Structure 1
Amino acid sequence: MTTTDKYGFSADRPIKSLQEDLLGRADFSKNLSDAISQWKGDDSLVIALHGDWGAGKSSIKNMALAHSKQQANSPTIIEFSPWEWSAQDKIIQAFFDEISKSIGRKNSSQEDQNLANIFSKYGNHLSTAHTFLKGANLALPLIVTAILSTGVISSYFTENVQLPILIATITSFITLILPATEKGGELLGKLSENYEKKAKLNEQNLTEIREELIEALSKRKTPLLIVMDDLDRLTTTELRMIFQLIKANTDFPNVIFLLLFQKDIVENKLTDSTQSGENYLEKIIQIPFTIPQIQQKQVHEVLFKLLNNVINSHTDADKKFDKERWTEIYHNGFKNYFNNLRNVYRFNSTLSFNFNLFKNNDIFEADPIDLIAIECLRVFEPTVYIKLSQSKRAFTTLSSSYGDNQSQKVKYLRVIEDVINSASEKNKESVKKILTSIFPTIRWIISNYYHDHSSYQEWFTQLRVCHKDHFDKYFKLSFDSEDFSTSDFINFIQLTVSREKLKEKILALDARNVLEDFLSKFEAYSKQVPQENFESYLYAMLDSADGINSESNQFFGFSSQTYLFRLSFWCLENIQDKKERATLLKKYINLNSNFSFINYFLFEEQKNREENQEILLDDSDFQALKNDFIVQLNRFANSCPDKLIQHHSFLSLMYRWKEWENSSIVLTWFETQTQNIEGILKVLQSMILVTRSSNDFYTISNIKKYIKADTVENFLDITRILNIIDSTNTSILSDEEKELIEMLRKGIENKANNRDDDLDD
């Protein structure tokens, strides 16, 4: 049956032949093969081939073996993968079984058949002893101690002792010691059964079989080449078993071991308190090789060839391919992800698959360069990819001409930085450059470079990912942007240890417009916040409250700010000591100018007192906190009047200030801020009230803005500000400014006619 790998999913498997070599390693492989074939010695030769993951060790091995098989007098090749047997704990038996099968395969000579039988006998002897000793592990210390105490085999325990001889010797003494142990009878029975089954094979003792094996090997005209790949996959115990097995048989003539592994991984696993892994390997490995270093140019030539195949698979995609943009993205960081062929093939196979999804007859429904860049992030920076898919507004919004442009810019910058910071440490700069290349829409945020609307329209026609109408199609395989896992909430709880980190997280969630949904679900987890983190947890929420969206996205439901207030209240309620509550709040208000929650808290405390409801502070502490609040608000109003006027809780703060302070101080402040048309418009902007309605009783669909005359009269002399307005040449005002004046006049008219301001015209 013919199989087709249309998208190259198996392309990163090791190559098998010299003809497949794309990186110029064929000569190295042939030289390695020739060196092995020409060797003949009285002892075994142990060769190691080192290289990192994905660097091509297995490919070089395959090419070397393929070359060997084509030569006269090539060695008998035995490939053994110990990691395939490690879980079954049969490494020793499997090792000799594989050698026996390889040598004694069909059509082999009588000499090889004989050698296969000897290896089989040798393996059976060792595996029987290993199985027994493993089963007797609880009794083994007693066994060994008893044997040593006889002094009979003390001469064996020297630096040059051979493992098989030691095992055979210990086994030969077992019958003398074993009956004295608790499980002796049972284990001795098993041992007897094993030997009975293999009686014919075990007529000779281990030493005799070993001598027979050495003699048979020395008569061979060609060596045995035993290849072990992927040793770095083994556990420390399994590695030691393999290397002890090799070391114990290094006196076998005409035997070559070729070992493939990543050197640092194996050394780390073999390092213990007695010696370093490096020294351990030096005692066993005679000839270490490191695979030739890959030239990035060679790898990228393969990458370009495969990318060309993908692009050329659709005519329209080829037409849309902008070589100038590609050069920018390639040098801005894309190239850094491809330092070996495994990464190239891995990327190409998934790109080929996803590329096919955008083929719509004669139209390619995406920008090919954007798709390549996004796929690079998906494969190599999955966290960046997921967060990017959740950050559509920040990455696709052009600069705004409205008054909230600066605050929006700050919000989006937090989102962008959060996405970039989630990249792998060594590639953060690459990710930043790639994102800047495919999202020119963010340049007004990170570098004050502004594009006009005509550019945005052009990106629409080019099907660019940076346009809001095309963004989603590039993330068809991404997670739901509003879906949160348990780990997200646990991570949020863990962040409560740090005020600054938790604040950053809250603001990042708000910037992605998912904070409201997140907090609504986090309420169920809020009781898990450790009490020792209450201060940092509470302060992070208070820090954030002034900088997030104070309006709900839903017709019925709380805003993100309201959820923060609720969580803050619950945190305070969980502090049993009222004095401790007061201390936390006083400390905060005297060091910060974030007024939203304190204002809300004091208002609720006052209302609860008037209604005889439960309160969180003693009367004296409540009054002291209120005084501190007014002092700080007064100070902020005079030092940063514009910031206060732009505060989203401006009107609420002004009502509290006027109520709890000498009202003349507040009215004088308002008069000072409205001496000209510019000041009046700023204050009127902050006095806009909004009515929201919905046709489906869930999503807000209708918004009405207006200014109440009563609101203005609470703080300003309407006659005075109308005189300033009337004396102004309104033709120089913007449409938004003219609309403010019209809302004021409409409010005055509605009051005069006793008409509700929020009714439709």
Structure 2
Amino acid sequence: MNYILSFLRDFFAQSGESVQKEPEVQKTDSSSEGKPYNYSSDEPIELESQDRFNRWLFATRIADTIASRADKSSLVIGVYGQWGDGKTSVLKMMRGYLGRYKHVIPIQFNPWYFDSEEKLIKGFFETIAGAIGKSLPTFQQRIGKYMKKYGAILAPVAGNAATGLGESLSIVELDELRLRLEEILTEAQVRLVIMIDDIDRLDRNEIHSVLKLVRLSAGFSYTGYVLAFDDEIVSASLGEKYGAGDKEAGRNFLEKIVQVPLHLPPADDMELRQMTFEGVDAVLKATGIELSEGQPESFARHFVDGIEPRLQTPRQSKLYVNTLNFALPLLKGEVNPVDQMLVEGIRIFYPKLYRVIRDNPSYFLKYRDGMQNDPDRKRANILVDEALEGMGVIDKERVKDRFIRVLFPRFGSTSYGHDWDTRWSREKRISSEEYFKRYFVYSVPKGDVSDLAVDSFFEIVSNGANKQIDELISDFANRGAIPRFIKKLRDREASIKPSDASNLARAFARNGAAVPRERHAFIPDWTLDQAAILISNLVKLETEKKKRESLAKEIMETADPLPFAFECLRWLRKGDKTEEEDRILSQGVEDELGRILASRIKIKAKEAPLYKTYANDAPRLLWAWNKYGKKGEVSSYLETSFKNTPTDITSFLGVYVGLAWGMESGLPSRSDFERDNYEAVKGYCSPIIIYTKLKEEYGSSLENPKFYHSDEIPFDEKIAHQFAFIHLKVLSEEENRKKEEMVKHEKGEKDTS
């Protein structure tokens, strides 16, 4: 499973770059897969065998230089390097190597333990006294006494505080004590090597105190100092205190303290790459994530283009691998693993860019027609440029071309049509609106559906466990996730087995009540339509004709509620003009499905008026009943209902009135009863009967009705007036047409005579 390492060796061998062979310690058998990967603790190394960045010779050279000096004067060496570059490891290797010299006493001093300058100085000399006493027991009492006294006197002098000893007395005693200490070191024939690490991690005042301490105590003979820190940080801190207040002033001050400034050799780029890829492979193996064909190459290439230019230290490599070790298991199977690893790289190495992407998804995901003057595209580029500049990235275009646009193709100028959304969704890419948020919240957001849950759902469908299937669909509905769930099922339609397709179609037919009904201006009932389309396509997957027809009939008998059954019929039938070979079902079977639905509608109509039970869905149910039921059945049903309950007429007319959406507010309101509504009603019930009943309720006002548009009168009365207005207009048009035909007829007879 060493995906990345294998590709690394193959690819870069072709390009002529040298890549080291994978170390034996990294090789594990398949039994290690799935076992937790241990986080790197960032512990420094101590042994030559652990050194993979060739710092051993550098460390031992410093050690030899100090240990073999014939000159008794002190020496201060500075080891400079940025955070995480391995300075502590160099000191550790030095200390271990110095053990070969019997006359050298290596002393590690940690300034982090002391919270004041006075404690720092006393602690410094007590640490030295303890180390000498441990190495030279015969001198322990004498050296301890002098060191502690020297530190006690030096502390107030360094801090410029008044003491009971008096300033002049302190200085005299300091010189005397220093000479006695040097005599002991001469007599014992030893040399002290004092190593102070992480000076750059102290605050400004603490940095000043440590370097002041070194300057005041560096006069000891037979002593050497090795100070490890980031010279950029320390110089800046010193510059604020001394000289002109800038970094250069701080460097000038450092030159008075450090006699031998050395810069840590930079970590080899190829070795850093190797180290990182080893870690990535180990994490993938531990989490059980298997990269598909082409993914290792994709990650390696884009890592080199986008992340590697920012990878400078071993600590950064460990930090990145530790981050993947945390993040990958959280989204295993829910996102594209290559995209996730690259996005985590952006978070670690381009934190400002990461925030821009996270907070402005539309700039990176939105479809654009390729226009260069698109304002969103301009704004997106400005934000990205500002983020990259803020992190010191010089070649911004390279990062955008080779890294950002790889993850977000629509960030570029090339137009990617909507067909790409389906592909990106299928691949779980971050460029998909469906998956984008997951990469930042490390979970499946509310209303979304886990891909693993969908996998599990299909296993249950395969087993035919109807109760479990229904419970899962109900759970998705309770979480408001049915729209996304249906989309995910639709995305997998082509790969569903016929047996699973049948079970799934039955499941959604009987759980139609779980499908939400959206109220949108442009695409109302989108989810209901998609669910019906899904069922239609699932029926089509059944290759055996008789089974397909039987499944379709079963769906029409069980699909609930009735409006959902109607949608299923709408998508199962292909229309009268469709050729037989292009149908899912034969014309005869389609008609039979219609009759099944009509029968169910008739039964429901006897229980309660359809226009009250199903409101705006009633017109479609009446259409299906009228088309597939017995002739005149719907007219008889409506006329009887209106005769028994005349006040129901406005309720009936109201179901034909849709919603109008405000252009400014975007809010829905009841629309008007229009001419096309009138024509639809006319197909089921005589307008004369309706008009007569309305006049009985609203009186003579309907003899001269008005077409009210506003809500100045109650809705039912407004609908009655609008119907009456249209009805009288239709009658007038018919009367005028008859007169015109009569005139033409009379004129024709005259012409003939």
- What TM-score, normalized to structure 1? 0.50
**Counterpart Cα distance in 2 of 1:461 and 1:346:** 31
Residue matched to 2:152: 124
> Is the Cα–Cα contact under 8 Å of residues 238 and 249 in structure 2 kept in the other structure?
yes
Amino acid at match of 1:341: P
| Aligned residue number for residue 228 of structure 1 | 196
1:469 match: 434
| Aligned match for 1:459, one of 412, 415, 424 | 424
Provide the residue aligned with 2:106 in structure 1. 77
Letter in 2 for 1:284: I
Q: Deviations over 1:409-451 (max 9, x none)?
A: 54355346535543344334455232210122x05xx323435
The SS at the match of 2:283 is helix
- 1:646 matched residue in structure 2: none
Deviation of 1:99 (Å): 0.9
Structure 1 residues 88 and 461, CA, compared in 2 at 3 Å: closer, same or farther? same
Paired position in structure 2 for 1:447? 413
Distance 1:316 1:288, change over 3 A: closer
- Aligned position for 1:172: 169
**Matched-pair contact (CA < 8 Å) for 1:9–1:350:** no
Q: 2:39–2:325: 8 Å Cα contact kept in structure 1?
A: no
Match of 2:181 among 190, 210, 213: 213
Note if 1:98 corresponds to 2:127: yes
Query: Which secondary structure state, in structure 1, belongs to the residue aligned with residue 147 of structure 2?
Result: helix
Structure 1 residues 365 and 233, CA, compared in 2 at 3 Å: closer, same or farther? closer
Query: 1:57-94: CA deviations, max 9, x gaps?
Result: 1121111112222x141621111122432446522111
Cα distance per residue 1:348-373 (max 9 Å; x no partner): 111111011123xxxx3221110011
Q: Structure 1 residues 317, 431: closer, same or farther in 2, change over 3 A?
A: farther
Deviation digits for residues 682-723 of structure 1 (CA, Å, limit 9, x no counterpart)? xxxxxxx993289xxx99689989999xxxxxxxxxxxxxxx
* Aligned mates of 2:326, 2:187 — CA distance in 1: 56
Q: The residue matched to 2:414 in structure 1 has which SS? A: coil
Match in the other structure for 1:370: 339
User: CA 1:24–1:754 in structure 2 vs 1: closer, same or farther (change >3 Å)?
Assistant: farther
C-alpha separation in 2, matches of 1:382 and 1:310: 22
What's the CA shift for 1:110?
A: 0.5
Check 1:334–1:345 CA distance in 2 against 1; reply closer, same or farther (3 A cut). Answer: same
Whether the aligned pair in 1 keeps the contact of 2:147 and 2:181 (CA below 8 Å) is: yes
**Number of equivalenced pairs:** 431
Instruction: Quote the Cα distance in structure 2 between the aligned partners of 1:82 and 1:389.
Output: 40
1:692 matched to 2:661: yes
> 1:406-445 to 2 correspondence within 5 Å?
410-411=375-376, 414-415=379-380, 417-419=382-384, 421-423=386-388, 424-427=390-393, 428-429=396-397, 431-433=399-401, 434-440=403-409, 442=410
Deviations 1:257-297, CA, capped at 9 Å, x for gaps: 11112223333333434793333333332222221122222
Q: 1:257 to 1:705 in 2, by over 3 A?
A: farther
Distance 1:102 1:222, change over 3 A: same
The one of the two structures with greater contact order (alpha-carbon pairs below 8 A, sep at least 6) is 1
Superposition pairs of residues 295-306 of structure 1, within 5 angstroms? 295-306=268-279
Residue 391 (1) aligns with residue 360 (2) = yes
SS of residue in 1 equivalent to 2:161? helix
One-letter identity of the residue aligned with 2:358 = S
> Aligned partners of 1:706 and 1:17: how far apart in 2?
89
SS, match of residue 292 in structure 1: coil
Q: In structure 2, what is the Cα distance between the partners aligned to 1:699 and 1:19?
A: 70
Q: Distance in 2 between matches of 1:707 and 1:390?
A: 46
What amino acid is the match of 2:413? S
In the superposition, relative to structure 1, how do residues 260 and 331 fare at CA in structure 2: closer, same or farther (>3 Å)? closer
For 2:289 and 2:443, the matched residues in 1 are separated by: 26
1:264 is paired with a residue whose SS is helix
Counterparts of 1:504-543 in structure 2 under 5 Å? none
1:332 match: secondary structure: helix
Indicate the residue corresponding to 2:311 in structure 1. Answer: 338
Equivalence map 1:613-624=2 (5 Å): none
* Equivalent position SS for 1:77: strand
Residue equivalent to 1:134:
161
Identify the residue that residue 11 of structure 1 maps to in structure 2: 41
Asked if structure 2 preserves the Cα contact closer than 8 Å seen for 1:37 and 1:75, the reply is yes
1:479: how far off? 14
SS in 1 for 2:290: helix
Q: Distance in 2 between matches of 1:372 and 1:701?
A: 45
In structure 1, the gaps of 5 or more residues are: 137-166, 175-203, 482-552, 555-688, 709-749, 757-761
CA–CA distance in structure 1, aligned partners of residues 112 and 232 of structure 2? 18
TM superposition shift of 1:34? 2.0
- CA RMSD after TM alignment: 4.4
Shift of 1:215: 0.6
The counterpart of 1:293, out of the listed 266, 277, 282, is: 266
Q: Distance in 1 between matches of 2:672 and 2:79?
A: 75
CA distance change for structure 1 residues 244 and 399 in 2, over 3 Å: closer, same or farther? closer
**Corresponding residue for residue 139 of structure 2:** 111
List gaps (5 residues or longer) in structure 2.
1-34, 447-519, 522-657, 676-720, 728-753
Contact 1:311-1:368 at 8 Å conserved across structures: no
The aligned counterpart of 1:46 is 76
Larger Rg: 2
**Matched residues in 2 for 1:135 and 1:288: separation?**
36
- Partners of 2:186 and 2:133 in 1: CA distance: 17
Task: Evaluate the alpha carbon distance shift between residue 372 and residue 699 of structure 1 in structure 2; reply closer, same or farther with a 3 A threshold.
Answer: farther
Which of residues 326, 329, 332 is equivalent to 1:353? 326
The DSSP-based 3-state class of the residue aligned with 2:437 is helix
Look up the match of 2:291: 318
Residue 228 of structure 1, CA deviation: 1.3
Q: Is 1:43–1:250's contact at 8 Å kept on the other side of the alignment?
A: no
Identity rate, percent = 24
Q: Is the 8 A contact 1:8 1:348 kept in 2?
A: no
Q: From 327, 342, 351, give the equivalent of 1:382.
A: 351
Q: Distance in 2 between matches of 1:322 and 1:706?
A: 59
Give the conservation status (yes or no) of the 8 Å contact 2:320–2:348: yes
Q: Is the 8 A contact 1:122 1:210 kept in 2?
A: yes
